[in-house]
Amino acid sequence: MKDLWTKTLERIGRSPTRIEATSSVMAIVCGLLFGLALMLIVNPLEAFPGFFTVITGPFQEGLRSLGNMFYFGVPIILTGLSVAFAFRTGLFNIGATGQLTMGALTAVYIGVNWGFLGPFHWVVAVLGAMLAGALWGAIPGLLKAFRNVHEVVTSIMLNYVAMYFNTMIIMNFLYDFQASRTAHPLPSARLPVLFLQNIFPGSRINIGIFIAVFFVAITHILLKKTTFGYELKATGFSRDASRYAGMNEKRNIVLAMVIAGAISGVAGAMMYLIPGRHLPYETILITEGFTGIAIALLGLSAPIGVMLAGLFYGALHQGGTYLQLYDFRPEIIDIIIAVIIYFSALSLFLQKIVKTFIDKRTKASMGLSEEVETR
């Protein structure tokens, strides 16, 4: 009889999803091992304690650390979900940074100037961010659908347009000259904490985690359970075939980018409708949009997988805050994440390695089993 190891390998080998998941795990492991090797080079005596602190970051201070993990993970989950949604429909939304920037700018503008909204202030700010991101995402969608202009080119260009537009609007309407920074949204525009501070005392968690889970659930249902989601994926696989089947492929392309942009816009609101964080007025690109690409790859472009990958990022980020206890700089976490990103980009290569390894081990195990049975 085949042993458990052989059965497990065969089960993985028969499922492309399991092979993809294994390659994502390999990317994470490779990134962590690279980080450990780097820490051994920098400070061999504290490398292993520091590395253990990094991977146990969400549990260093109990529920406070766990709450901060959720806080750091929320915008990354949303930007990753935006990129993953476009991936699922055959589009490469590399413009999540620009969409996030426009969403953040809109949310902060409403948060600073629309105090008359009272208890609905933060809700309108989030909805405004969603609308701004959707409109920014619609531009490459329209160009792709009606002019066949590749969305990678247009979305990269729009990232820089959003960056400079952000600086212009802040310096003219939102700059606080006394504090030398962007004006902070009014307290009524801040994301509510609700009862979460009682569960995670001392952390920075807010309602954003529920908003992120809501979008994960909605996109999962949309892609897996609806006719509209099926049409979006069909259009991504083949525009000609979907048109032949009677689908409006141009509409589907535009709507896919609109939805992806809306999710990135919400991520921008989650990042800056909070105390103590200010929208940068310098001409720099907000990196969370690019990190979302890696999270989408690690999560296999599946909403639930993206959420898990985003929480993993939040865990690493939280672990990095404790590296000051050792003779390491927190930037080492950025290096680990960057290595994971590179290995994620090589996911197809890793999948091939996993498939080859599984095939060899399965054949070897089967050959051994047959030899035993013959004896």
Beta bridge partners of 79: none
Whats the size of the chain, residue-wise? 375
Choose which CATH entry (1.10.530, 2.60.40, 1.10.3470, 1.20.120) describes domain 61-314: 1.10.3470
Q: What is the pLDDT of residue 1?
A: 45
| Half-sphere exposure for 167 (CA within 13 Å, toward CB) | 10
Q: What is the pLDDT of residue 341?
A: 73
Please state the domain extents for the chain: 1-60+322-375, 61-314
Q: Residue 307: CB partners within 8 Å, gap ≥ 6?
A: 77, 81, 212, 213, 216, 299
Q: What is the pLDDT of residue 7?
A: 52
Low-confidence residues of the chain: pLDDT under 50: 1-2, 5, 9, 12-13, 372
Q: What is the pLDDT of residues 11-44, one digit of tens each?
A: 544 555 666 777 778 788 888 888 889 889 988 8
User: Side chain identity at 256, as an amino acid letter?
Assistant: A
Q: What is the pLDDT of residue 370?
A: 52
The token pair that represents 7 in the structure block: 């059965």
Q: What is the pLDDT of residue 170?
A: 96
Q: For the beta carbon of residue 362, count every other beta carbon within 10 angstroms.
A: 20
In which region does residue 13 sit, left (phi positive, over 0), alpha (psi from -120 to 50) or beta (all else)?
Answer: alpha
Single pTM value for the model? 0.88
87 within 8 A of 296, measured Cβ to Cβ: yes
Q: What is the pLDDT of residues 259-287, one digit of tens each?
A: 999 999 999 999 999 998 999 999 999 98
Q: What is the pLDDT of residue 306?
A: 95
Beta bridge partners of 175: 182
